[in-house]
Structure 1
Amino acid sequence: MEKVLQSTARALGQSLDDVFADLDRLVDAAIGVILAPGTSRGKLEALRPVVEDIVTRQGGLVDSAGVSVAPGLFSDVDAWHQWWSLVGGKLAFIPHNLNPASINYYDYTEMTWYERPMESGLPELIGPYIDFGGADTRIVTASRPVRAGTRNVAVAGADLSMESIERTFLFNLGRTDKDVALVTDSGKVVASNSARFAPGTRLEEDLTCAGAVPVNVAAIASPAWRLIVTA
């Protein structure tokens, strides 16, 4: 069982590392666009080909991706969330309500996937959580800061498909009579081979127990997820 858990953890870690490598490309492109002449949100449209390549290349793991800028960065808007998603096989810009006076206001600056990399300056893996501001689905977001000069000016992120993560988990785990859960550092279930543990619920197990196997992601300082054989 230990070998199966280790191989499953490696497969998951490699797929997440690949996402963060693609986010590196998006960060590099975003820096070039942000530092280019002009202070309008419109220039972020130049990132579309990079995002399209990432979403397409990830083959279903990345549902959507984009860049969210720090308030005050552009002259024509207070804040801007440039996000695209595959819709009907084509990349489409996903509009969000960024009007603070609106009841449906989407304040991305208060979202954990934005706040944490902006404050820490490090890549983050956030979720699963319900994306009420987007498609109202449960997702995981990989994000990392965009640094220009001496400050973080934006966050580049990618929303990951829970179904794709679950397929990788189950395929590599294979058939077993053990109940296994993939959990975050806070104990939230990302995927499981048992109906006892639904994604998004909290696992009441010792996350540091001897049987826990970390999912190592090179881009992140410490293991964000673990594989737990449940009692």
Structure 2
Amino acid sequence: MASSPRLVSAAAAAPDETVADVAAGIRDALEGVFDAVSRTCADTQALLGSVSAEGRRPVSADLAPMRPGLHERLGRYELVSGIGFVAVPGLLADVSAWLEWWQTDGNGHVRPLVPDLDPQHSAYSDYTHWDWFTLPRDTGRRAVAGPYVDYLCSDEYSLTLSAPVTVEGRFVGVAAADVYLRNFEAAVLPLLQRLTIPARLVNARGRVAASTDPHHLAGSLTKSAAFATLPAGPQHSTVHDGLRLYPCDGVPLVLVTEAA
């Protein structure tokens, strides 16, 4: 579970330049993960584009050449615990659904995920309703989903960062990477603790990803219609519903404090 946040004083609002520096640090921490996602997206598009040029439907074996790159990214990107491509059901000719997914175990060994995607046996076989899939599919943009207990991949409290994969203008799935929440908090809580007021990071669904606010712990929800649109909007702070919102410069998280 998430660690308890350090309490901070709410005596005064944080200067915008300080918050901007913190938001930039959060952006830098997550852009490394999104770089791994972007490389996976490019590999997937290249492979599926080659198959399409041959005039046939892809099969699961066509994705095997991605594996060296996925293995290398698991070793290179410190926050990444799992990475791969998740296909739209029906994309591949030999299976109804597929995750080309690799992850590290507790000993640091790289191993494939072999999920049970049979709807008669697994309650988690339909992955198309999860935020890490639906947000990129519906918006065409990158997404941060969670934190949530990742029953499909690791049984760990995690975040999933994802991006849409398109081939010839058609959505074919998502490239994604998992980050254990404990590792994410270790990276971003020191940044949030630089602020003199309680603050939290919130994704497009309003889910709190990390927090120094004892009233809004990681995993809880913050309601505001602004979260879904603000990451793509202006980079200066705005006030909505009594909250001051600071975009993290293109990363789909919003730094939230109470409005002064």
What interval of TM-score do these two structures reach, taking the shorter chain for normalisation? 0.7 to 0.9
* 2-structure distance, mates of 1:26, 1:19: 11
* 2-structure distance, mates of 1:119, 1:82: 22
Q: How do 1:53-72 residues align onto structure 2 when only pairs under 5 Å count?
A: 53-59=72-78, 61-72=79-90
Alignment partner for residue 215 of structure 1, among 248, 251, 255?
248
Gaps of 5+ in 1: none
Q: Deviations over 1:71-100 (max 9, x none)?
A: 222221111111111112121111111112
CA positional deviation for 1:22? 2.3
CA positional deviation for 1:127? 2.1
Relative to structure 1, is the Cα distance of residues 198 and 56 closer, same or farther in structure 2, using a 3 angstrom cutoff?
same
Q: Does 1:75 align with 2:89?
A: no
* 1-structure distance, mates of 2:243, 2:207: 19
* 1-structure distance, mates of 2:132, 2:170: 18
Q: How do 1:139-218 residues align onto structure 2 when only pairs under 5 Å count?
A: 139-174=158-193, 178-203=197-222, 208=240, 209=242, 211-217=244-250
% of aligned pairs identical? 27
CA positional deviation for 1:194? 4.5
Report the secondary structure of 2:117's partner residue: coil
Letter in 2 for 1:202: L
CA positional deviation for 1:159? 1.3
Alignment partner for residue 254 of structure 2, among 222, 225, 228?
225
* 1-structure distance, mates of 2:126, 2:102: 17
Q: Deviations over 1:151-207 (max 9, x none)?
A: 111211111222222122222244666322222344322112254432101247997
Letter in 1 for 2:128: T
CA positional deviation for 1:211? 4.1
What number of residue pairs does the alignment pair up?
A: 226
Report the secondary structure of 1:171's partner residue: helix
What CA RMSD, in Å, does the superposition of the two structures yield over aligned residues? 2.7
Relative to structure 1, is the Cα distance of residues 186 and 230 closer, same or farther in structure 2, using a 3 angstrom cutoff?
farther
* 2-structure distance, mates of 1:224, 1:213: 9
> Which position in structure 1 is the counterpart of 2:7?
none
> Which position in structure 1 is the counterpart of 2:46?
32
Gaps of 5+ in 2: 1-13, 227-238
* 2-structure distance, mates of 1:153, 1:56: 27
Relative to structure 1, is the Cα distance of residues 6 and 162 closer, same or farther in structure 2, using a 3 angstrom cutoff?
same
TM-score, scaled relative to structure 2: 0.75
* 2-structure distance, mates of 1:230, 1:190: 20
Alignment partner for residue 138 of structure 1, among 157, 170, 192?
157
